A and B are shown apart, each in its own frame.
Chain A
Amino acid sequence: METMVASASIPFPREPANYDEASMHHTLLFSDSLKDLKNLRKQLYSAAEYFEYSYTNDDQKQIVVDTLKDYAIKALVNTVDHLGSVTYKVTDLLDEKVDEVSGTELRVSCIEQRLRSCQEYIDSEGLSQQSLVIDTPKYHKRYVLPGNYILVFSICIKCLLKTFLLFYFFRLSVSGLSFSSIFSDVSCSVGETMQGANVTKSKYQGCSQDNRDDWHEFKNGSVLVMLSLYLFWCDFSFCEHILVVYHKCTKMMDVIMKLFELQLQKRHQLQSEKGALHHLLRVLPSNQERFCSLIPCPKRNKHPEPQKSASMRLPAERDNRKEPDQFPSKSKRLLKALLSRRKSKKDDMLYTYLDEY
């Protein structure tokens, strides 16, 4: 009973001078409250033993019971006060520590922000120093393309040209066709892509036109086909480079034009030889039919067949195509024999030569 009264009589604390003294004062009060709570258990147990002894030994039991009731009420109220005080102090201390941690987090965030700004400043300074040191080359806009499209495109154009040339020269060498028919085929194939079936038909019929016109059509058509392939293959945003590419293609086509002119000269030589041969055949009317059977070109002109591409021909047709290949050499030998012939005496030589066929 005395201890409970003594615990309630706490002296009034004086004002703390600074933060450390105040914190020490709060800590002392908190520790005193915890000690009182610990002692409260012992006091209650001792009070319970005292009242039990008094109730059994004392005659005035009602007074003992009333005293016990009063003591229990006061002990409960005192316990609630102590617990309230302790819990309040604990909560206050925790809130204070949480506030301190929040303040510390804020300060750390400020330090991190300062460090980040210092790092950005150092990076920007280093970048500016390096950018002043490096002298970057400047190119004109039209020579700058994303990726190596010009390089890839030039390779593609070269491959296409090689394919064109190889295909048609192979066809020329194998089939022995004249250049006019070959390039009329080429111009017809270009005309199919450019102008449609009607124009194609007219091109087939126009195989006897001037070869230079056919060549120019072939050249322009091939350039346009390559340009359309390029536009299909590349992005349309590179249309500003079409002019450069067109000039490159025209230069390549000029080279092909020179080759074509060389082959054209050979063709004229061949035609002049054929003209001489026909002149000789008129001189010999009795043998005209036999000579005409030996000359393949007029027959082919009489019965024109639609030209097939090399890939569409059958092997048997290719073999048949090889037969006229022997005629130019044979016609040369025949021409020599005729030129060396003497009209009056050596007709027998010509007939013996013709019997070989």
Chain B
Amino acid sequence: MARAGGITEAVNVGIAVQADWDNREFISQISHNVRSLFDFLVKFEATTKSKLASLNEKLDTLERRLELIEVQVGTATANPSLFMP
């Protein structure tokens, strides 16, 4: 009986160790996935920031060009004699 009880106890310990290793593996996999998700978010932030910066620059340039065109059109409309034949 004692011998059988010793074997059962050893088996239980082995099952517990195996379950512990399984849990550790699961946790490491979850941590790896969360880390990958975090890396993706960092890259997405950098890409989005660069895109927004380029878009802001384009909008500034466009705004200046539009102001220049507005001034030119205003000058032309202020002197209608230039368009007289």
Contact = CB atoms under 8 A, between A and B. Distances in A.
Contacts of A115: 69, 72-73
Contacts of B83: 122
A83 B62 contact: no
A112 B61 CA distance: 14
Contact of A69 (B26, B37, B44, B66): B26
Interface string A45-76: 00000000000000000000100010011001
Given A87-B44, A101-B59, A108 B66 contact: yes
Nearest to A90: B48
B30 interface: yes
B65 to A, nearest CB: 5
B21 interface: no
Contacts of A83: 37, 40-41
B55 A108 contact: no
Interface in A114-131: 115, 118, 122
A212 interface: no
Query: How many B residues are at the interface, by size bracket?
Result: 20 to 34
Contacts, number: 52
B34 A94 contact: no
B33 interface: yes
Contacts of B41: 83
Interface residues of A, number: 24
B53 to A, nearest CB: 11
A285 B83 CA distance: 110
A108 B69 contact: yes
Nearest to B22: A69
Contacts of B58: 98, 101-102, 105
A193 interface: no
Contacts of A23: none
Interface in B30-63: 30, 33-34, 37, 40-41, 44, 47-48, 51-52, 54-55, 58-59, 61-62
Contacts of A108: 62, 65-66, 69
3 nearest A-B pairs in the assembled complex, by CB-CB distance: A101-B58, A94-B51, A87-B44
Interface of A: 65, 69, 72-73, 76, 79-80, 83, 87, 90-91, 94, 97-98, 101-102, 104-105, 108, 111-112, 115, 118, 122
